[in-house]
Structure 1
Amino acid sequence: MVGSKDLQPSTKSFGRIFFSNQFRAKPQWPAPNTNLSGKTAIITGSNTGLGYEAARQLLDLKLSHLILAVRSPEKGEAAAAQLRLPHPNAYIEVWQLDMCSYDSVQAFARRAESQLSRIDFVLLNAGMIGLNYTTVKSTGHVECIQVNYISTMLLAVLFLPILKVKGPPDGQPARLTIVGAAVTLAAEFPNRTANPLLPSFDDPKTYNPRDHYDSSKLLAEMFLWNLVDYVSANDVIINLADPAWCKDTELARDVTGAMKVALKLFSLTGRTREVGASCFVDALVNKGKESHGCFLMSWNIHPFPAFLYTPEGKVVMQRLWDETLAELDFAGVRTILNSMKAKVAN
């Protein structure tokens, strides 16, 4: 199989890519006869925005069991109530998940392992843009990097052996999709030479909301580059999907003032939530083993940012990999990855 990292880096400017995403790309909807009866999906950050819309679309395909993983159970229950109205036969649960808490992430994975007999789809959608410099007290990391990258990768790794065991009974692999962003293709990543790398994001003197958001999504792609070497597509299909720029989402809900006005105007170029979320449904339902380890943009496999293919990029990716595994040693991630890799080798 030819994945994103086997492709040649794109030579298109980000402006051309943005224009193509927003105005030329055509959605790839599931086939009309797609039926997800009997299947279970977990979606993080699903009480609003694109996560909620992805949940709705999966339910429209007759999904039997949906778990809304949210930080606020009250908001989750309100969302679940709205989803139950047109889908009274679906079993919709709300589970609490705080991506700023390692304890919460681990407890969520343990709950899935102990309470679910089957998991077909996991969509790691929870994310944020940190307009102000805020750190997570328990880890010391800036919140944007903690939520969008570190905790998301922790949850992904914790779910690997669970999905291997609890995937579809017909022998098909479970699907794990991580929400990405096309902005990684233009990410400046100004601290790329920092050593160590992860602590350099936590310096309040260099905090920049846009750079940190772009970089947080880029870090996920860098981690995925190495992660798929440990996971067979026969066990779990892992991919990363970009919804492009969408209007009416909650990602920039804390924006105020002139920036809020600018975003409102810029939203005129945005995709609808329905079209944006269809990228996630496509990654989960339409795409197969050919998408393993891939960056999916506008419903197609796309190269990673050019930096990742360079000698410098390979060095930075290895540094990030080593630092992330060290950060998450408490959760036994090395043991999990080595056990999954042993299966790849066999």
Structure 2
Amino acid sequence: MASPQVIGGAVAAAVIALITFTAVPMFIIREYFPYKLLKKQYLGKPTVNTKSYKGRTVLITGANGAFGSRASKLVAHRDVDTLVLVDVMDLTALKEDIESELKKENKPLPKILLWQIDMMTFAGCQEVFRRAKTDLAKSAGLDHVLLTAGILSFKRKESPEGWETTLQVNYFSTALVALLLLPLLKSSPGNPNPPVLTMVTSFGVYCSSFTYGVPKKGSYLKKMSNNKDGMEQGHQYGRSKALLLWFAKELAERTKKAGLNVTINSADPGTAWTNLTGPNRSQLIPRLITNYSARDPIYCATALLNGVSAGPESHGKILHDFDMPEYPPFVLRKSGQVAQQRIWDESREEFEAKVPEIQAVYKMLG
């Protein structure tokens, strides 16, 4: 008898075929389900582009996750000087695993820093900043920052900061860490490119895009956070990643205008069955999509590592396995531009009210 994965994949394939061979308007497909992107990632098998990270410092949040842990190992096997692993869970086992692998292959051991930090609060984000200033003070630079930390929940909860938890970790805390680390980004002498900060995006931004309407009055972020269980919470992961995508685009535009020698981009790893996506098994549509498109997590980690190692041509772009596709339609239209500005302004108001260190960053950005 066929496995549930095979059956689910067959059903999903049937759905794709239905979309492909029926008169579904193309704008609907582009907006909500650009399946060609999904298929291309499913078939993609990227390899690590950078042969050596010798002399460089790489920081990865969500380092205990399926993608973060694999990206950490990929970097460690390529002569990185300092590897900073950040996660809410204890990272000792990952460090020992990395060192064991390197010893077996007679490779040099990098300096591995373990920061066990809870990004469910702004205080945790401030701790990332403080540790970076002190623990990396003697490092030649901070070359690559890969922000993979994220959660997925189909039950609504609130963080200590008063925001829905998915938005808290995937958007607010990730955006705050990005801002706080911005002044510390610096290329090491052996790094020929500007330092890179990469945020993780997702195919889920398309499927949930019909929920992104900007209210005429009141806070846009509070509207996104004050959701209910059911369909809204089911789309919350995609909604959080959409906010982050808008933020990354705005940050890239502002760093360029300010003349900062940094690269800000977003990378889409594709889909895999992991501890993060496990809850999708209980949800019909997410399960079908994941069954249709899931690939080995090592390829997802590789795509992310290539994103955070890309050159300045990737600034302000989205990176897939082998190319840089356009932003989703909802980002580029006029309403998307309005949303982008609202997100930036409301986030700034929240951060400035609770995180004193952020004032200097916004002043730097102009």
TM-score by length of 1: 0.85
Contact kept? 2:155, 2:229, Cα under 8 Å: no
CA pair 128-282 structure 1, distance change in 2 beyond 3 A:
same
1:200 shift after superposition: 1.3
Q: Determine if the alignment matches structure 1 residue 176 to structure 2 residue 197.
A: yes
Q: What is the match of residue 322 of structure 2?
A: 299
Structure 2 residue corresponding to 1:109, chosen from 122, 129, 139: 129
Q: What is the match of residue 122 of structure 1?
A: 145
Q: What is the match of residue 27 of structure 1?
A: 46
CA distance in 2, matches of 1:284, 1:263: 29
CA pair 324-102 structure 1, distance change in 2 beyond 3 A:
same
Q: What is the match of residue 324 of structure 1?
A: 347
Q: Determine if the alignment matches structure 1 residue 235 to structure 2 residue 261.
A: yes
CA distance in 1, matches of 2:305, 2:63: 13
CA RMSD across the alignment: 2.5
CA distance in 1, matches of 2:286, 2:328: 27
Q: What is the match of residue 245 of structure 1?
A: 271
Instruction: Decide which moves more: 292-301 or 229-238.
Output: 229-238
CA pair 185-268 structure 1, distance change in 2 beyond 3 A:
closer
What are the within-5 Å matches in structure 2 for residues 244-283 of structure 1?
244-247=270-273, 249-253=274-278, 255=279, 258-259=282-283, 263=287, 266-267=290-291, 269-283=293-307
State the Cα deviation string for residues 212-266 of structure 1 (Å, max 9, x = none): 111100101111221112214862211110011113x22134x287449984994
Specify the code of the residue in structure 1 equivalent to 2:360. Answer: T
CA distance in 1, matches of 2:73, 2:290: 26
CA distance in 2, matches of 1:147, 1:334: 21
Q: What is the match of residue 85 of structure 1?
A: 100
CA distance in 1, matches of 2:280, 2:45: 33
Q: What is the match of residue 89 of structure 2?
A: 72
Q: What is the match of residue 3 of structure 1?
A: none
What are the within-5 Å matches in structure 2 for residues 143-162 of structure 1?
143-162=165-184
CA distance in 1, matches of 2:38, 2:146: 24
Unaligned residue ranges in structure 1 (runs of 5+): 1-9, 342-346
State the Cα deviation string for residues 45-99 of structure 1 (Å, max 9, x = none): 11130100000111121212211101122xx111111111012422222112211
3-state DSSP of counterpart to 1:218: helix
CA distance in 1, matches of 2:285, 2:239: 24
CA distance in 1, matches of 2:284, 2:228: 24
Tell me the number of residue pairs that the alignment of Structure 1 and Structure 2 aligns.
321
Q: What is the match of residue 198 of structure 1?
A: 221
1:19 shift after superposition: 1.7
Specify the code of the residue in structure 1 equivalent to 2:223. Answer: S
CA distance in 2, matches of 1:63, 1:301: 26
CA pair 279-310 structure 1, distance change in 2 beyond 3 A:
same
CA pair 234-262 structure 1, distance change in 2 beyond 3 A:
closer
CA distance in 1, matches of 2:261, 2:285: 46
Unaligned residue ranges in structure 2 (runs of 5+): 1-28, 104-108
- Spell out structure 1 runs of 4+ moving beyond 6 A: none
1:334 shift after superposition: 4.8
State the Cα deviation string for residues 123-161 of structure 1 (Å, max 9, x = none): 10000111211101x211000000000110000000010
Q: What is the match of residue 163 of structure 2?
A: 141
**Higher gyration radius (CA):** 2
3-state DSSP of counterpart to 1:67: strand
Q: Percent identity?
A: 26
Contact kept? 2:120, 2:169, Cα under 8 Å: yes
Q: Determine if the alignment matches structure 1 residue 315 to structure 2 residue 315.
A: no
Structure 2 residue corresponding to 1:225, chosen from 238, 244, 249: 249
Specify the code of the residue in structure 1 equivalent to 2:301. Answer: A
Specify the code of the residue in structure 1 equivalent to 2:150. Answer: G
Contact kept? 2:227, 2:233, Cα under 8 Å: no
